[in-house]
Structure 1
Amino acid sequence: MVSTSTVSPGCSSPNAKVCLSPAHAAQDNVSTLSNFKETGNKTPAETVPQTGQRADALRENLKAIKLPPGFKIELYAVVPDARHMAIEPSTGVVFVGTRKTRVWQVTDRTKRRVADDVVSFASSVTFKVPNGVCFSPDGVLYIVEQNRVLAFPAAQFFGEGGPDVAAAVVVPQGKLIPAEFESFNHGARACRIGPDKKLYIALGQPWNVPPKAKLGALDTNGLAGIIRIDQDGKNREVYAHGVRNSVGLDFNPKDKTLWFTDNQVDGMGDDTPPGELDRATKAGENFGFPWYGGGKVRTADYKDATPPANVVFPQVEFAPHAADLGMSFYTGKMFPAKYQGGIFVAEHGSWNRTKPIGARLMYVTVKDDGTAGETEVFAEGWLTSTGEYMGRPVDVQQLQDGSLLVSDDYAGAIYRISYAGGK
């Protein structure tokens, strides 16, 4: 192993004895951190100001958001590029992934339900699209990058100390997916720890519709699907097949079934095909892609091909091209009984529809038999009447007090929705 004292990431130092690429340098740092050693990085963690004109403007924009009676929305934190969130079970510290190179640590120290500070987490590690963040029940933070999985025990405490944190490699760099399938398109992962204590990871495939010659390799590796592995990276298997690009998943705490969003095929028209909210009841089910582009709408590329037997169609068909991303079951008690046990879904908003749609939160009821009931708009207003985005919700997660956090990568913020009306 090369000593980190002689390594210059990117060969920027003339005194470096060995030059490594940034990716290799980051991997070396992870190896150092996994042995509880210091990397020598003394650069202070990047901080994000929580006051000033930007925060004031975000609060002003929130006045346009429409919610059901009794609910209110407030700015929780200014967080650049905020994507998926993981809330530490005992302290409520929020870790926020991005589609860039940072993971943010958001801390509410006084429990006023607003962030006191936002700092970069584990800056000694060079992340690549660290979108997927999730906690195990015993407090281990998993970060799923485009092509690597890392674990950080006691992240909320180690992260306070600076750029170096305790870390472990779950899936090494370049081993989550084959390098040939690496793409910025559909490269943002989502993850959850299941009731079986395994780590579930959604792996979007890189095409709008993949060529038939690539289907076998995609399926073998779990792309266009959801995989599950042990928390140490072993015993990998494909749990769900035929999933174009899921960027949100959660388990129903009542019956332990896995639910996930799936983004539909582009280029088939403004009003087709629908977005999806799916329910997996067992391992090995196929959800229809690429034979179906969304719902029961066949794709042009596979219209003459026979779909797999027993395709599982979605529980909910959302508006076409609204870009349904993060989702979570509501298990809190703050909200009225109507919302308890249901699902909140963040719609990011369309990018190529003639008239944009989405940029809102949807609510889906879950019936006693475990299937989806009625669907309604819960929060909207980030998309103006003139078709301009003020924000684009990405994820929705629940704080310990039963309020909801909503991330927004366009505005660079996290919002908090609470309820104070009559029950």
Structure 2
Amino acid sequence: MYFFKTTLLSLLLLNTCLAFAESGDHQAVLKQLHLPEGFKISIYADNVPNARSLALGDNGVVFVGTGAKGSVYALQDSNNDGIAEQHHVIASNLRMPNGVAFKDSALYVAEINRIIRFDGITKQLTKPPKPVVIYDQFPSDKHHGWKYLRFGPDNKLYTAIGAPCNICNPEKDIYASLVRLNPDGSDFEIIAKGIRNTVGFDWQPETGTLFFNDNGRDLLGEDTPPDELNQWSVKGDHFGYPYCHGGNIPDPELAADKKCSQFTAPVWKFKAHIAPLGLRFYQGTQFPVEYKNQLFVAQHGSWNRTEPQGYRVDLIRFNKGKPVSEQDFISGWLTKEGNVLGRPVDMLTLPDGSLLISDDKLGVIYKVEYQGK
């Protein structure tokens, strides 16, 4: 009964929005959002359907990956007025090209089953070159098949392969893993296991340590298990899926003789089903000093909870390399009536220190600036 009730309600919520949001009045949505004193949020770009992952290219070009839309966009704010007036379609009809990364004048795009590269892309935005396939050995499963993509401090490409299910023990070793490879597709290696579905990670500036989100399994209850923030340390780390969730909850179907103490526990636990996606350690200089090297997390929002939660940008404060507290940074996409106005996905810090946030429900990119008290 729980499944049918929450699924029906979720479908209604996902298709319900206030009239001004459905009419495209994004300014009205902005008025519903709450930020700390001194911060301003605006629309950097609209008409970016299914906007998800973000990457910064040369000359301030912002690349945007999508999901089911199948397109990759490039945005330009050529006159530096805070609004991207130029939109380019770099590619279309791709297989959920969620992940985007940029390095050495090339754009890398992660589809479900492969990574492709567009060389010299910022000089060819109006007539993009044909992509080069650098790796095409990923599974083709659509379930948790969309991928995040980033370059690490070691100049390797990092991505993840989600579990092809809600809860299962896949036979192939590649599933539920974090992987890395060279930019040319060579030296592919699995560096961690037991990760159900991560669509966001970043490296802590002070330590170079990799932190990543993981979305917990469904159908264990409305408040179980917690979604996770994890810290990767060494090759071979196992973070528990499908045997253990949240560091201390054995799976009722698959735990068998496994103990949660066998696995690497999360370093921070979010509320259940808030769907943490993109995350960024803030390294700009525009925001007040207390935000420096602190972690912003986009909470995409619950889909199968009777009372939805998430739908916000979170701030995780760190002290001596460890997370110590959690607070709202931006809220209001979820109204008191339970209406969903937008769903934040990923973040990107621009050279001037402002913060971009993608929203795949509204198809917009927000810009957050600090203007002082």
Fold similarity call, TM over 0.5: yes
Q: Which runs of 5+ in 1 are unaligned?
A: 1-52
Quick one: structure 1 residues 326 and 58, their matched pair in 2 at CA, closer, same or farther if it must change by over 3 Å? same
Shift of 1:312: 1.3
- SS of 1:338's partner is helix
Q: Give the TM-score taking structure 2 as reference length.
A: 0.90
Structure 1 position 151 matched with structure 2 position 117: yes
Structure 1 position 419 matched with structure 2 position 370: yes
Structure 1 position 72 matched with structure 2 position 70: no
What does the per-residue CA deviation read over 1:218-245, in whole Å, with 9 as the maximum and x for residues that have no partner? xx22x20110011111111111111000
Residue of structure 1 equivalent to 2:5: none
Counterpart contact for 1:276–1:316, Cα < 8 Å: yes
Larger radius of gyration between Structure 1 and Structure 2: 1
For 1:21-420, list aligned pairs within 5 A.
Answer: 57-78=25-46, 79-88=48-57, 90-100=58-68, 101-123=70-92, 126-136=93-103, 138-160=104-126, 162=127, 164-165=128-129, 167-172=131-136, 175-177=137-139, 179=140, 182-183=141-142, 185-210=143-168, 212=169, 214=170, 216-217=171-172, 220-221=173-174, 223-307=175-259, 310-368=262-320, 370-420=321-371
Counterpart contact for 1:204–1:225, Cα < 8 Å: yes
Counterpart contact for 2:67–2:146, Cα < 8 Å: yes
Residue of structure 2 equivalent to 1:14: none
Counterpart contact for 1:122–1:159, Cα < 8 Å: no
Quick one: structure 1 residues 291 and 56, their matched pair in 2 at CA, closer, same or farther if it must change by over 3 Å? closer
Shift of 1:55: 9.1
Quick one: structure 1 residues 335 and 55, their matched pair in 2 at CA, closer, same or farther if it must change by over 3 Å? farther
Residue of structure 2 equivalent to 1:25: none
Distance, in Å, in 2 between the alignment partners of 1:268 and 1:309 is 20
Quick one: structure 1 residues 56 and 205, their matched pair in 2 at CA, closer, same or farther if it must change by over 3 Å? closer
Distance, in Å, in 1 between the alignment partners of 2:191 and 2:23 is 42
Q: Percent identity?
A: 39
Aligned amino acid, residue 313 of structure 1: A
Counterpart contact for 1:276–1:295, Cα < 8 Å: no
Quick one: structure 1 residues 135 and 307, their matched pair in 2 at CA, closer, same or farther if it must change by over 3 Å? farther
Distance, in Å, in 1 between the alignment partners of 2:112 and 2:161 is 9
Shift of 1:139: 3.3
Q: Give the TM-score taking structure 1 as reference length.
A: 0.80
The two structures, once aligned, show a CA RMSD in angstroms of 1.7
Distance, in Å, in 2 between the alignment partners of 1:375 and 1:165 is 43
What does the per-residue CA deviation read over 1:63-92, in whole Å, with 9 as the maximum and x for residues that have no partner? 01000100111011111110111111x312
Counterpart contact for 2:105–2:122, Cα < 8 Å: no
Q: Whose relative contact order is higher, 1 or 2, with alpha carbons under 8 Å and at least 6 apart? A: 2
Aligned residues: 351
Shift of 1:129: 0.4
Counterpart contact for 2:194–2:239, Cα < 8 Å: yes
Distance, in Å, in 1 between the alignment partners of 2:187 and 2:260 is 25
Counterpart contact for 1:227–1:239, Cα < 8 Å: yes
